[in-house]
Every structure is written in structure tokens, then in C-alpha cells.
Amino acid sequence: MSMPPAEELASDRDDDYTVWIIKYGTRQTTRRELFLNYDLYGEPDAPATMDYFFWVARNRHRTVVIDTGFSERAAIARGRSMIQHPVDALASIGVEARDVDAVVLTHAHYDHIGNAGLFGDATLLMARREMEFWASSVAQKRLFAAYTEQDELDALAAARRRGRLELFDGSIDVAPGIEALELGGHTPGMSVVTVRTNAGTVLLASDTMHLYEQYEREMPFSGVTDLAGMYLCYATIRSMLDQGVSHLVAGHDPITLSRFTPSNVLPGLAATIGTTTTAVPAD
């Protein structure tokens, strides 16, 4: 029996997607910087890499982008290496930023909301608690503000006034098969996103879990607003995996791409999960 061509095997459902994991930046650091109170573990310090990603859920009907990376300006100011601009990376996979339908912002740190202004009329979505925190006076304290760019927070507030930023409480159905879920911990409104694919449901954990090791060994990240909340995230992720989530995608782990299907379009810089008809570039 001969197999049908790949395009016919691929799903054309409205509610499943190809998920793209795209690496756009990197930096060299140390384990002591990545893990909160690292000395408590009694382990030697060592060099470590932190990669920067954003994510795309795409099918024939729509494109949803999850986080927008850091801006070139923030990268220079902070000594981060931008490997490719997120908007250029999108173009490489056949997506024009202005054609994106919705952008979920998992939290308001500089490496997740830079470039949010480059997405035309796309609806921006973020947890209300996150927005309210960054507008509060305590967010001006150095240990919080260090992770943000004031002009980017101002741009979000302006987007809110123009009706482009939609705030949600708890969770929101972004589109059929895509849900954002507020978990807190790392930041007050830190959110994760689940995406249905024909290879199972994907959990884009973003910065609830910078590295797989942080989840697997319950070793929280150094930057945190609510430590108990961060531990609770690990338990929530574990129960989501027990309840049928098939793929766990960490926020900053250099091993992430090796866990999924490598992309031919952006070799070494992207991987995919799931197959839809749009996974095969048509034009």
C-alpha cells in the first residue's frame, strides 16, 4: 500500500498547529547566576549558557506569536548577543510580522516584550496581574526594574489605551487549540501557553522554567518575585504533564532545540512540533 503525500497526512484542522521554537539570542553566564542561592546546593560553580527564544503557533487559518524577544537596543545595553532579529526569523519561516493575528506576552521582562510594537494590528494578550504589577511603585525597585525597559512598559500601556492590549485574568482561550494560563512565580502574572498539535499538546513554559534542570531538580531561577509561587509552578507543570500535555518547552535552555524536530529553514536556530499543511512552505 502506498502512502499518501505528506501534505495529505498533515492536518488541516482549525484547532491544531505547528509550533515553532525559535532561538534568537544567547549569552554566556554561570550556574551561580542562574540558580537562586546556588551556594545552598553545595555544588561547584561552572560556566553556563542561556539561550533566548520566542515561539510561533501556526496553521492554515492563523498565526499566533508567543513573546517577541529583546530589542536590538536592549541587547546592546545588556551585552546580550542577538543571533537573528525575531522579525527576520519570522520572515524566514514565511510569516510577515504585520500578518500575525495575536501575540501572547508571557510576562513583561525585556527579553519577552521587546519588538512588540512591530506586529501591526495584532492583538496583544497579557495577564492583567502582570500589567498591574509593572505599573505599581514597587516595580520601580532595582531588583525588579533591572529586568525591564521603561520605554517598553510605556509602549504596552499605550497599546492598552489604544485597545490593542487585551488583559486576562487566570486564563484565556487565545484561539481554538491555544490557551494562555497565568501561573505567577517568576513575575506576578507569569503565564504559560498550551498549543494543540497533531503530535500532542505542547506546553510553552516560558520563564516558569528557564532550564529543564530547574524544573527537574526544583532549583528556582535567580530572578523571582514569588519563590513559593515558582515552586508551585513546577508542581502545576508536573500535573499538566500527568494530565496529557506531551511536550514541555523550557524558556531559555540551550538543550531545547535538540529535543524537537530540527528546522531546515533555520538550521540550528529553530525546531518544530506537529505538522500542519502550513508546515510545508507553499510559496
Residues lying near Zn ion in the complex (CB under 5 A) are found at 111, 207
User: Least separation, in Å, of the C-beta of 235 and Zn ion?
Assistant: 21
Kindly tell me which of 177 and 223 has the beta carbon lying closer to Zn ion: 223
Q: Rank residues 36 and 265 by Cβ distance to Zn ion and give the closer one.
A: 36
Closest distance between Zn ion and the C-beta of residue 110, in Å? 8
Spatial distance between the Cα atoms of 261 and 220, rounded to a whole number of angstroms? 28
Chain-centroid distance of CA 246 in Å reads 17
Name every residue whose Cβ is closer than 8 Å to that of residue 265 and which is 6 or more positions away in sequence: 92, 93, 281
Smallest gap, in angstroms, from Cβ of residue 276 to Zn ion?
A: 27
CA-to-CA distance for 75 and 14, rounded, in angstroms? 37
Q: Which of residues 182 and 207 has its CB atom nearest to Zn ion in the complex?
A: 207
Strand partners, 58: 18, 63
Q: Which CB, 66 or 279, lies closer to Zn ion?
A: 66
C-beta of 126: minimal distance to Zn ion in Å?
A: 14
CB of 200 to Zn ion, least distance (A): 25
> Nearer Cβ to Zn ion, position 51 or 111?
111
| Residue closer to Zn ion (CB basis): 193 or 279 | 193
Is 93 or 113 the residue whose CB approaches Zn ion more closely?
113
- Closest distance to Zn ion from the beta carbon of 147 (Å): 8
In this structure, the dihedral spanned by the alpha carbons of residues 37, 217, 106 and 277, taken in order and rounded to 10 degrees, is 150
**In this complex, which beta carbon is closest to Zn ion, that of residue 247 or of residue 252?**
252
Q: Give the CA-trace dihedral at 255, 256, 261, 264, to 10 degrees.
A: -80
The least distance separating Zn ion from the CB of residue 120, rounded to whole angstroms, comes to 24
**526544583: which residue's cell?**
218
CB 25, min distance to Zn ion, A: 10
